[in-house]
Structure 1
Amino acid sequence: MPASSPQKSESAITYSIVIPVYKNEESLPDVIERIEQMQSRLDAPLEAVFVVDGSPDGSLNTLRNLLPKSTFNSQLLAHSRNFGSFPAIKTGFKSARGQYIAAMAADLQEPSELIEDFFAQLKTGEWDVAVGIREGREDPLISRTLSKFYWSTYRKFVQPHMPPGGVDIFATTRAVADKLGALNESNSSLIGLLFWLGYRRIEIPYTRQERTHGKSAWSMRKKISYLLDSVFSFTSMPITAILGLGLTGSILSIVAAFAVFVSWLLGSVPVPGYTALMLVLLFSAGSILFAIGILGTYVWRTYENTKNRPSSILMSTEVFNDESV
C-alpha cells in the first residue's frame, strides 16, 4: 500500500541504491536478484529505491509484485509522467534513507559489483563521491566513436575534470546527496552538477557490459538535449565563441571592403556595389543569426529557471520489507 517513507534521521539503513526505471520490465527480475546478492555480501542493511519514470510498459506492476517477495528493504516511487533519468535519480536521492547512496541503471550495463566498491571507498571516510570510469564498453563502433568525441570535447571546453569516458554510475555520502538534491536548476546535467559541487572524489574503473534485455530509450534526441544541457549550463564558452566570431567577421569585412574598393578603382567590378553588398549581407546575416541562436538559448534557460518548477512530480510512494525503524 502507498505509504510515506520513514524519516531519514530514524533510519537504520546504511546503504541505498537508486534505480530509475523506464521500459525495463524484462530486466527487473535480474536487477532484484543482483541486489539480493549484494545485500548478502554487504555488512549493513541495504535499501533499493526504484523510481518508475512514467514507464509505458508494465514496470510498475512488475515491481509491485516482485518487491514484497525480495529480501531487502525497498521503496517504489512513481513519477506522474516521464521526466528523464536524471530527475528520477534526484527523486530517488531525496527519498533514500541510507548514509551512502548510489545510482544504478536498470539495464545492468554497469556491473553491480561496482556499487559495492563505491560503498567500501565511501565508508573509509576519505571520499565523499565515487564515480565509475569506463575503461571499455561493449557497444557498437559508432556509439563508441561518438561518445569518445563528445566527452573529449566536453573535457576540453566545459569541465576538464570530467573522466574521458564520462560518468553513468556514481555514489555519494548523505551530505553530498542532500546538497545535490537541493540544486533545482532546470534543463541541467546531473553529472555536471555533481562535479560542480566538488568534494573529495575517487574514480573506479570498470568495463561497460552489453545490454541483454530490451532496447535503450536513450534516443538521439535525448542525447542532443543532454549535450546542450551539459554545455550551456556550465560554461560561457559559446559566448566567447560569439565574440571570436564577431571579431573575425569584423576583420574579414574590413579586408573584403578594401578588396572591393580596390577592384572598383581598377574597374574590375561590372556591377557597382553588387559584390560588396552580397558579401556584407551573407556574412552579417549568418553571424547575426548564429549569435541570436546562442543568446536565445541562454535566455530560454534563464526563463525556465525563473519558473521554479520542480524537476519531477512524485505521484506515489510505496515501502516494502521495511525494517529500518
Structure 2
Amino acid sequence: MKFSVIIPVYKNQDSIPRLLQAVTAMARELGGMMEVVFVVDGSPDRSFVLLRDALSELEFPAQLLAHSRNFGSFPAIRSGLAAARGDYFGVMAADLQEPPELVVAFFRALQADECDVAIGTRTRRNDSWSSRLTSGLFWALYRRLVVREMPEGGVDVFGCNRQFRDQLLGLQESRSSLIALIFWLGFRRKLVGYERLERQEGVSAWTLRKKIDYMLDSVFAFTDYPIRFLTRIGFMGCALSVMLAIIILVGHLSGRITVPGYAPTMLVVLFFGALNLLGLGLVGTYAWRAYENGKNRPLSVVAMSLKNKEDSND
C-alpha cells in the first residue's frame, strides 16, 4: 500500500454517493495502490451506515473508523493518520469542496520527493459572500496572531510522507491546532493552489462558534501575543502615568486644581493601575514559559541524517 487517503466524515450523508465515486476514480488513477480511511466523527446522520454498507463493495482497500462522539475534524484526521498504512498520506474533505485532484497532486509531489508536506491553499472560493467575508477575516487574524507563514486563503487539507506523519502524531496536544503544528514542524513544504468548489449537499459544520473556539485554541497554544500586548500596555501606562502625574502635580502646586484630595487620588490610581497591568504581563510571561514546557514539544526536529561511511565498530 503506497497511498493513504484520510477522510473525516461529519453530517455528510448526502454527499457519500459522490464521495465514493470520486475516491474510486482516484484509486484507478493511482494504479490500485491506494487505501481510504473513513473516520466518522460522531456524525448524527446516516453517514456511518451508508459507508458500512458500501465497504464490502469497494474495489480498493478501505477502513472505517467511528468516534464515540464528535471530537472535531482535526482529531478525526489524527485518528485516520494513525490507522493508515501507506507511505504517503493525503487528507480529503468528505463534502468534495476541495477537489479530489488536489490529493492526487499531493501524492505526485510527495512521490517525486519534491517535499515532505504538501499543503492545499485556496486561490478562489465559490462560497457565499458572507462565508468568504468571515473566512477571509478569520485567516487574516490567524496570519497576524498565530502563523505568519499561513497562506492568505487558509489551509484545510494537506498531504505528507511517513516521516512527517510520525512527527506530527508524536505531538500529543489536546487543545491545539493541527494546521499550526504542521507549520511549526517545518520540513520541506510545497503549496498547491486550488479553487474551492461550491457545496452541493448540506450545510457546512464549520460554524462561527467553532471558528472562534479554534482561533482561541490556536492563539493560546502557539503565541504569547496577548501577554506581550498586556506587558506593552503596562509599560506605556506607566510612562503615561508619570507624565500625567507631573501635570497633575504642577496643577495642584499652581492652584489650578482646587478639588481636595483629587491630585493624590489620581496619582495613586494612575500609577498602580499601570503597575497592575505591567505585573500581570510579567507574571503571564513566566506562566507562558511554564506552559510551553508543559506541552512537551521537542526542542528540535531532525528532518534528515546522513553519514559518509559506517563506523568500523558497528
- Does residue 202 (structure 1) correspond to residue 228 (structure 2)? The answer is no
Change over 3 Å in CA distance of 1:41–1:228 after alignment to 2: same
Counterpart amino acid of residue 52 in structure 1: V
Distance 2:86 2:161 in 1: 9
Which residue of structure 2 lines up, in the alignment, with residue 29 of structure 1?
A: 17
- C-alpha distance in structure 1 between counterparts of 2:123 and 2:106, whole Å: 16
Distance of 1:252 and 1:155 partners within structure 2: 31
Mark the runs of 5 or more structure 2 residues left unpaired by the alignment. Answer: 297-314
**Residue in structure 1 matched with residue 99 of structure 2 by the alignment:** 111
**Secondary structure, counterpart of 2:8 in structure 1:** strand
C-alpha deviations, 1:96-139, integer Å up to 9, x for none? 01111111111111111111111111100221111111111112
Distance 1:307 1:262, change over 3 A: closer
Partners of 1:154 and 1:72 in 2: how far apart?
Answer: 38
SS of residue paired to 2:56: helix
In 2, are the aligned partners of 1:53 and 1:85 still within 8 Å (CA)? yes
3-state SS of the aligned residue for 2:127?
A: coil
- Matching of residues 48-127 of structure 1 within 5 Å: 48-127=36-115
97-106 vs 269-278, which moves further: 269-278
Measured against aligned partners, the alpha-carbon deviations of 1:200-241 in whole angstroms (never above 9, x if no partner) come to 111111011121111111122211111122222222322221
Q: Single out whichever of 273-282 and 132-141 deviates more from structure 2.
A: 273-282
- Aligned pairs, how many? 296
Alpha-carbon distance between aligned partners in 2 of 1:221 and 1:232, rounded to the nearest angstrom: 17
Give the 3-state SS of the residue equivalent to 1:131 in structure 2.
strand
Provide the secondary structure at the position in 1 that maps to 2:5: strand
Q: Distance in 2 between matches of 1:116 and 1:149?
A: 30
Give the Cα–Cα distance (whole angstroms) in 1 for the partners of residues 14 and 223 of structure 2. Answer: 39
Which letter maps to 1:38? M
Q: Which residue of 1 aligns with 2:172?
A: 184
Q: What is the alpha-carbon distance in structure 2 between the residues aligned to residue 223 and residue 295 of structure 1?
A: 29
In the alignment, is residue 273 of structure 1 matched against residue 287 of structure 2?
no
Which residue number in structure 1 is paired with residue 299 of structure 2?
A: none
* Mapped partners of 1:185, 1:216: distance in 2: 26
Larger relative contact order, structure 1 or 2 (CA cutoff 8 Å, min sep 6): 1
- 1:231-270 equivalences under 5 Å are 231-270=219-258
- In 2 relative to 1, CA 217–294 (structure 1 residues): closer, same or farther, beyond 3 Å? farther
The answer to whether the Cα contact below 8 Å between 1:188 and 1:229 also exists between their aligned partners in 2 is yes
The Cα offsets for residues 177-212 of structure 1, whole Å up to 9 and x where unpaired, read as 111111101211101111111111111110111211
1:209 and 1:188 map into 2 onto residues whose CA distance is 28
In structure 2, the CA distance between the partners of 1:279 and 1:114, relative to structure 1 (3 Å rule), is farther
* TM-score with structure 1 setting the length: 0.81
Deviating more after overlay: 194-203 vs 279-288? 279-288
Question: What SS is found at the alignment partner of 1:168?
Answer: strand
What is aligned with 1:145?
133
Distance across 2 between alignment mates of 1:300 and 1:266: 47
TM-score between the two structures when normalised by the length of structure 2: 0.84
Percent identity over paired residues: 50
Give the letter aligned to residue 172 of structure 1: C
Q: 1:47 to 1:220 in 2, by over 3 A?
A: same
User: CA 1:223–1:39 in 2, change beyond 3 Å: closer, same or farther?
Assistant: same
**1:251, distance to aligned residue in structure 2 (A):** 0.9
Helix, strand or coil for the counterpart of 2:13? coil
Q: 1:249 to 1:90 in 2, by over 3 A?
A: same
How far, CA to CA, are the matches of 2:282 and 2:74 in structure 1? 24
Task: Give the superposed CA RMSD.
Answer: 3.0
